[in-house]
Amino acid sequence: MAGARTRCFRVGALLRGDQFEHILSRIEGHHGGRLHVVDIEAGPGMGKSYLLDCVVEAVREMRYQVARSDLLERDSALAFQFLRGLSSSSAPLPRSDSGDEAWWSRDQGGSSEPLTPTGEAERLLRARAFLHSLLRGMARRDTVVVVDDAHWADPDSAALLEDLLRRPPEIPLALILARRPRQTQLGLKVELARAVRLGTATRVELRPLDTKETVSLIGEEHARQLGPNGIEELHRRGEGNPLYLRALRVAVRDGVRDYDLPEQEAPQLLGDIHLLPPDAALLLDAAAVMGTEVFDPGALSAAVGLSAERGDRALRHLCARDLLRPDETGTAYYFRHEVLRHVVRGAVSSVRKAALHRKLADSLAEQRVAATELARHIEGAQAVPSASDVSVLLKAAEEVIACSPEDAIRWLRHGLKSAPAGETRGNVILMLASALANSGRLTESCDLLHEALMTETSLPDFQRVQAASVCALSECFMGRYAEAQNLLRAGTTPASRKARMAQVELTISRALVALFDGHPPTDEEIVAAWQTATAEDDRLSVAGVLALRAFCGSLEGDVAMARESARESALTIDAEPDERMAHKGAYLAILGWSETFLGEFDAAERHFIRGRALTRRFGQRLVLVLQLLGLSTVYRRTGLIPKARSVIEDARENAHRIRAENVESIALALELQGMMWLEFENKEQDLVPLAERTVRNLHKGGSWLGLSAKLSLATAAWSSGDPRRCSMLILDAGGGPELPQFPPILRPACFEMLAAVNVEIGYTDVDEWARRATACAQSLGLPYLDAIAMVARGHAAVAREQGEQALALYREAADGFSRVGMIGFRSRALTLAADVAATLGEHALVESLLFLAMDLANQCGNEATVASIGERLERTRGRRTEEDRETREILAGLTNREREIAALARTGRRTRSIAQELSVSPRTVDVHLARIYRKLNISSRTQLAWLLNGRELGAPPR
């Protein structure tokens, strides 16, 4: 017997093995002298019929006969469907005691005379007697009676089953019922519950599949494609229901919202809806086309033209069929599962679907629902949109452009079919171009705008300027800088206020383009923009021009003007609410970059973070990328490495989404530069190949971003141990020793790098690089650049073997970095100071400097640097321990007075000075010095200073 079960289990690939075994055990134990019922209860798609098939196969393997009656919805109008099914069962039925085994198969409703209550009762009694006689005969032949889909039982069959449960015959027979609980007639549910309570029935509720069983259901190969997260999502959305899991597996794998059901799943779901009455079918179709998770049935009925009474009747029918379910409030309804909603929607014909969308759009418009809800139905109506429809589509696109640009693109393309000429059409074109850019279709965005500028002659002049501005930025993101400049300089003569203000916006936007191509607006253009904004009394536009002025001034070295302009701009921008700044993300980006160049990192971080939030919210992904690049630069300069990496990764991801390979390469280059420059102790990873590939992918341009990216390759070469190549790359990118192609604010850092690498190379022109770094920093007057120049002068002192001076310069530079919050640079300066202190033999100072540098590196998140400095600290402490031992041995024979004189003499002080400090005669000092020389086996003060340099001369050892 166990072998039969095992073989059936393996053949059927049954997933609910525990419940399978439980049902078989109840069948085997039914020989108690009375009828025992097994009630299999499961919702749609849970696999009850499949389980029943496996049970039937196992029962036959156990040498039982099976009498099966599968009830059908389409036969629910026939009387005694249960008995009709048994008559066609494959099991040979015994002859009834009455000898008339087919009396119930005749049409009892064919008489023209209506049946009386007495007649109905007589018929039921006769059917009961016949059934009991039939069951007694089955019991003698070891038969198991199986009834599938008992929820479709006709009234006579339901009454017969209820009577059987209420007064079961005293025969050893097993009856298996499989049904859906929500669709089962109330009387039958009551009698089944009573039988379970009395122990004459066993209920088996099919449980949902667990995650492991879900993997078995969909197959190992499909599970590997989904991965752990995909399997969890599939199991959650499928609710452990085998039918839903199979239907959703492709949609979850491909991450799509609209999906086609596998051929074997769709018919099973369609079987629930194909026999619906017309009103119920209409209401169900409308609910599916509505597309929302929950809906108001009254409003939906009215929208599709059903009266309240007809709509209520249709709703009750759909709920009885378990197609719709009420929510917790009982006022709204939803499909029992998203898969059912999807299959119903797919089964609606295109003509009916379009008509329903139109009705829903008109009805919802009167209810003033969200524009995004209306837009879906306007699009689905497949008709040329009206003027009011275009307005709705435009508003809906604006709401979703940040989170779902593809929806915005579809709606705007639909609206463009009939958008009236003029400003409305221009708004549709501009927003469509932004949506295309957000979704990564930069080429399509530019083509649309170029075509509009050439062919849309009715566009107002201010929209033509706006189109040129948006198109130019997209061209830059694709690395087409010449095309961008042509668009920005073509322009028109502003004739209206809107056009004049649009021209101001275009001038401001040129700062963003300048980050790529290195060509900011001229002073004359900035002055003209400021005059226009002032004349129009637009304070926010004035603030934008001031940010532009600060940006250009900081790049060109006019620091005083840039700082003043940035602060004035910030005063206005910070006072403006987000609603006013909704589409002014460019202002915050330009202001943040200006403050970054000026070393005002706290202000820059604040403005970049606010700009990042606004551009995300309002779907300005191009500007968002520039916000993120700027914020990562702030974190890199202030040494917050984990934050810098997180933000730059965000920038790379957004650049990848919009397919801006040029910007993605810049972001990667900045990440590499930060990794190598601040994690200067990490020499293990060779990043030169990656940096070379990044630079090759960059389009030509002399911008701050482009040049900073090229410096990543130079830094990689230096980090990998090739200082000569580093020097060559910097000079080549900068256009010669004066680095004329670099903006002034970049030059001090480049001169400092040149000084550092030339120390390693052994060249003698380190002083010249340090001089240039200092001159450039002093001309700019920025504290963080002064600190960088101080480091360069420290390199020059090292090259001249002036250790004490180099040590002082590095420590002073570290203090300078500390004052401006650049803790990563401070850590590096302290490490350089420690290197010099080590050559001077001041090992106690080395330990102190390295400990502070390691603490700062830990604050930065520089794990590699922390580990490297920690190793150096251990070596230093070990060296100091050894030197302390040597010192004790050296000084073991000196008296206290001799130790005092030795400590003073090693500093270079003369005999008379020592005598005056100790209040002894010069002769006494000379006598003690002679004894010291003899005991230490030396002959001069120089040798004494060398021997005792860096050693602590405390009390003599005991």
Asked which of 27-36, 148-157, 782-791, 838-847 is least confident by mean pLDDT, the reply is 27-36
Clarify whether residues 176 and 251 are in a common domain.
Answer: no
* Per-residue model confidence (pLDDT) at position 486: 83
Q: Mean of the pLDDT values across residues 342-354?
A: 89
Clarify whether residues 903 and 934 are in a common domain.
Answer: yes
* Per-residue model confidence (pLDDT) at position 265: 67
* Per-residue model confidence (pLDDT) at position 767: 93
Q: Could you read off the pLDDT of 94-129 as tens digits, one per residue?
A: 554 444 444 444 444 434 344 444 567 777 888 888
Angle CA 153–158–164, to nearest 5: 130
Clarify whether residues 255 and 199 are in a common domain.
Answer: no
Clarify whether residues 189 and 243 are in a common domain.
Answer: no
Clarify whether residues 193 and 231 are in a common domain.
Answer: no
Q: Mean of the pLDDT values across residues 285-308?
A: 91
Q: 408 and 400 in contact (C-beta within 8 Å)?
A: yes
Clarify whether residues 131 and 222 are in a common domain.
Answer: no
End-of-domain residue from the set 694, 717, 751 = 694
Clarify whether residues 81 and 222 are in a common domain.
Answer: no
What are the start-end ranges of the E strands in 706-813? none
User: At residue 516, does pLDDT exceed 60?
Assistant: yes
Greater pLDDT, 633 or 266: 633
- The rounded distance, in Å, linking the Cα atoms of 484 and 306 is 57
Q: Could you read off the pLDDT of 681-736 as tens digits, one per residue?
A: 444 455 677 667 666 666 555 566 777 777 878 887 887 788 898 899 899 888 89
- Check residue 323 and report its DSSP letter: S
Share of the chain above pLDDT 70, in %: 86
User: At residue 310, does pLDDT exceed 90?
Assistant: yes
Q: 222 and 64 in contact (C-beta within 8 Å)?
A: no
Clarify whether residues 123 and 200 are in a common domain.
Answer: yes
Asked which of 40-49, 60-69, 558-567, 678-687 is least confident by mean pLDDT, the reply is 678-687
Which amino acid type is present at position 195?
A
Share of the chain above pLDDT 90, in %: 30
For 528-547, the three-class secondary structure string (H helix, E strand, C coil) is HHHHHHHHCCCHHHHHHHHH
End-of-domain residue from the set 167, 189, 205 = 205
User: At residue 828, does pLDDT exceed 50?
Assistant: yes
Greater pLDDT, 445 or 484: 445
Which amino acid type is present at position 438?
N
Clarify whether residues 488 and 627 are in a common domain.
Answer: yes
- The rounded distance, in Å, linking the Cα atoms of 470 and 506 is 9
Domain of residue 938, CATH code: 1.10.10.10
> pLDDT band for position 80 (50/70/90)?
confident
Q: What are phi and psi of 204, to 5 degrees?
A: -120, 110
> pLDDT band for position 882 (50/70/90)?
low
Q: Could you read off the pLDDT of 741-777 as tens digits, one per residue?
A: 888 988 999 999 999 999 888 877 899 999 999 999 9
The domain in which residue 538 lies consists of 460-694
> If we measure between CA atoms, which residue out of 624, 642, 301 comes closest to residue 434?
624
Q: Could you read off the pLDDT of 209-227 as tens digits, one per residue?
A: 888 888 888 888 888 888 8
Q: 608 and 588 in contact (C-beta within 8 Å)?
A: yes
How long is the chain? 958
> pLDDT band for position 880 (50/70/90)?
low
Identify whether 9 is part of a domain.
Answer: yes
Domain count, the chain: 4
Domain of residue 30, CATH code: 3.40.50.300
Clarify whether residues 135 and 232 are in a common domain.
Answer: no
Clarify whether residues 470 and 578 are in a common domain.
Answer: yes
> pLDDT band for position 51 (50/70/90)?
confident
Cα 584 to Cα 573, 610, 615: the distances in Å are: 10, 11, 9
Identify whether 68 is part of a domain.
Answer: yes
Structure tokens at 679: 């994690």
* Per-residue model confidence (pLDDT) at position 890: 65
Greater pLDDT, 676 or 544: 544
